[in-house]
Structure 1
């Protein structure tokens, strides 16, 4: 199987006071021309946010911004009037569209661990929207859970011909990857997996085109991005 491996150690590592972040793709002050994104997937930031700190109010536009909280609770507030907590096992999708201002603050006494994911939309200057769901794959392991997609059957609607799924695969178990959109990108949140002859550890990822099987070498949580071949 032809594949592009993205080892965890090749991520950018940025630590500035209250924020420690590992960037899968070039972001902010960290730049590597080999890692500029895959298809419409532009950002995966693995963030650790200190207690009583966070991202103050700032703007975004024309980007689909997905947040996956892995530990703790982050408090969201935005210019559309949305305000509340997003806790471990919950997902938030902001379609920034024509523009939105928001803040994400850790108001607790312990670190918050989350993934921040950006997808380039296929529709520009649309009306901003906000969506939030609970989907903790640990509660139903060894199966794919659809998080976002372009159609009404998805729990959250994204403005791109892409689907994002997650799973907790227990050691020794396997799941099939049958792509509908042609480019697969699997990011390992925790644990270790094997895809074809390739081993991918926590923080690493692999991109490939063909259908494949993913086997957990140890209990592993993963995200599968089913992405378009070309960005509309």
Structure 2
């Protein structure tokens, strides 16, 4: 089954320095029937305006992935990590029993990123921070596995059993993805538009995909998307 979630049905927020689209209940947006999708707890499409950001704040027992779409993000945390990442690059944090961090846009242009929170398989697991600077050519007209579990082969690995794929497809290009039994997918159209098994997605739209075994992805124009593959609920 494929369920389309139009961007118009999602929660939104505008704090002046931060504009957000919430795929699931978060901050002031609360919908009791839209808390999570499997182990995916948060997916926020954030625009952080120049010279602003999230000051130091705590997290615990969550695995947090940031995928940069535009601009640059500067991360700093209580484990001593500090770095700046740009388009197509990935930052990840397994917060374990507690960590403090900040995220800022120190540049003169807007920063847009997807902030993804994954529920870990157990509480108080080992804290992890890392990043990877994927190249554009790795995702052009093919699927790039940017995050996986530690049992798999991505350059970024977390504790939970998931896979995150991204791609940038040129117009009229097609990709197939086979969904294994007892797995499900949350699909996000980041930029452009595409057709998934006859369902058209525009920028910002999403899909919940369950009890299906194949995705046929066709770009209607230059199309940038991400999907998270996980165990069925």
State the TM-score bracket (shorter-chain normalisation).
over 0.9
Backbone CA RMSD of aligned residues: 1.4
Contact 1:72 1:112 (C-alpha < 8 Å) held by counterparts: yes
Contact 1:18 1:54 (C-alpha < 8 Å) held by counterparts: yes
Cα 1:89/1:129, change in 2 over 3 Å: same
Contact 2:139 2:166 (C-alpha < 8 Å) held by counterparts: no
Counterpart residue number, 1:191: 192
Residue 131 of structure 1 aligns to a residue in which SS? strand
- Tell me the TM-score normalized by structure 2: 0.94
Counterpart residue number, 1:226: 229
- Find the aligned partners of 1:37 and 1:218 in 2 and give their Cα distance: 30
- Tell me the TM-score normalized by structure 1: 0.94
Cα 1:169/1:114, change in 2 over 3 Å: same
Counterpart residue number, 2:162: 162
Large movers: runs of 4+ above 3 Å = 136-140
Counterpart residue number, 1:63: 62
Report the CA distance between 1:34 and its aligned residue: 3.5
Structure 1: gaps of 5 or more residues: none
Cα deviation code 1:199-229 (max 9, x no counterpart): 1111111112311211111111111211111
Report the CA distance between 1:70 and its aligned residue: 1.2
- Find the aligned partners of 1:217 and 1:37 in 2 and give their Cα distance: 29
- Find the aligned partners of 1:186 and 1:173 in 2 and give their Cα distance: 18
- Find the aligned partners of 1:72 and 1:167 in 2 and give their Cα distance: 18
Report the CA distance between 1:56 and its aligned residue: 0.3
Contact 1:137 1:145 (C-alpha < 8 Å) held by counterparts: no
Instruction: Report how many residues are paired.
Output: 229
Counterpart residue number, 1:108: 107
